[in-house]
Amino acid sequence: MEDVVQTARATLSYARISSRKVKIVADLIRGKDIDEALAIVKYAPKASSEILEKLLKSAISNAENNHHMEHSKLYVAEIYANQGPTLKRIRPAAKGSAVRIRKRTSHITIVLKERD
């Protein structure tokens, strides 16, 4: 019989930031231990790092409290940011025309697992 690997996850839907911007920081912390990942997100000078830090802390809490996983063994197994719905706004432009502004959103998921 196969061992079931326990996972803990945290999801943020409709984050008001483009998934393209989130993926830059997400690629930095994928596969890292959580203490190292937290340090990276804390000091990365990117718009998404604040959002990802909060989400990572939420995933850690879920792992420890809901799944009884050990803090020292945790690592970021998966992290991905998918595109959410786009809010469309209009800005007046020259000669009575209008320009569309696309305010993009994203759905971010972090999955933590324990190292053996």
Instruction: List, for residues 39-86, the tens digit of each pLDDT value.
Output: 999 999 999 999 999 999 999 999 999 999 999 999 999 999 999 999
Domain for residue 58, yes or no?
A: yes
Distance (Å, whole) CA 64 – CA 87: 36
CB-CB contact of 24 with 80 (8 Å): no
pLDDT in the model for residue 4: 77
What is the CATH number for 38? Answer: 3.90.470.10
| Domain contains 92 | no
pTM over 0.95: no
From CA 38, how far away is CA 25, in angstroms rounded? 11
Report DSSP state, residue 62.
I
